[in-house]
Structure 1
């Protein structure tokens, strides 16, 4: 794969991935800008919407809440999140994110390091919200 010369990538260019819920848009990844250490982007959740439970066997996930009221379950234990809060999800920890507020929520996320192969990046521990969605695998950003 050749490395893209442009390292800027807009959320408007990113494909929406709704497989696990919400609207996940990967903006910085090996596929979009040729980075080699991780990937990141933005997540939007409508009130009541959630990201189904999963884990990352090789990566830590860093989240920063921009807008909205959220609850992240880490191994079943709830953690409330509000605008300005940041959260680290450690490698191998089951997690599920729910918008518990009355307005849309927006989160910026980054995962690092990359899994050895893209298909190993995520392990679903709950059936995906849209198992039949024609979306690229969330872990496949190369």
Structure 2
């Protein structure tokens, strides 16, 4: 018999997640090996103001699941542009280059999840465009906090 799960230790509010602007926008990793001890992936919230973007990159080990909550976005996946709006979901396959931009007049918000995890956190993202803020650290999703 396993011990009961304490759901309070598995809950993270986006306000408690550290914002990361390395690739643009406000990316907050809420559920990860560091925050809740997940073993198969990580996810969180992305907010982009009008005109803001997330620089092009790819994930050599993970698929990315993206669900738009509010706003108008355009994502380029391996050069093919796709318009997204509230309620739209999109799968970014492993190894696909992708870049996301807010094309609307208001803030856009997305929920994202990547799975499976890379063998080591530093292998999870490969930048193909210079990050917006090179001084910002990579988002901490695995290893020690």
| Aligned counterparts of 2:103 and 2:79: Cα–Cα separation in 1 | 16
Verify: 1:114 aligned to 2:117, yes or no: yes
The alignment's TM-score, normalised by the length of structure 2, stands at 0.91
Deviation at 1:131, TM superposition (A): 1.1
Q: What is the match of residue 3 of structure 2?
A: none
After superposition, the CA RMSD in angstroms is: 1.2
- SS in structure 2 of the partner of residue 31 of structure 1: coil
1:48-87 matches, cutoff 5 A: 48-87=51-90
Q: Tell me, in whole angstroms, the C-alpha distance in 1 between the residues paired with 2:126 and 2:71.
A: 26
Which of 94, 105, 108 is matched with 2:108 structurally?
A: 105
Runs of 4+ in 1 over 4 A off after TM superposition: none
Q: How far did 1:127 drift?
A: 0.2
- How far apart, in 1, do the equivalents of 2:67 and 2:47 lie? 12
The whole-number CA distance in structure 2 between the counterparts of 1:45 and 1:101 is: 10
Once residues 96 and 112 of structure 1 are traced to their aligned partners in structure 2, the CA distance between those partners, rounded to angstroms, is: 18
* Residue 27 of structure 1: aligned partner: 30
Question: TM-score of the superposition, structure 1-length normalised?
Answer: 0.93
Match of 1:11 in 2: 14
How many residue pairs match? The answer is 136
Equivalent-residue separation in structure 1 for 2:127 and 2:121 (angstroms): 14
Could you say which structure has the larger radius of gyration? 2
The CA distance in 2 between the partners of 1:30 and 1:78, in whole Å, is 32
Instruction: State how far apart, in whole Å, the 1-side matches of 2:78 and 2:18 are.
Output: 29
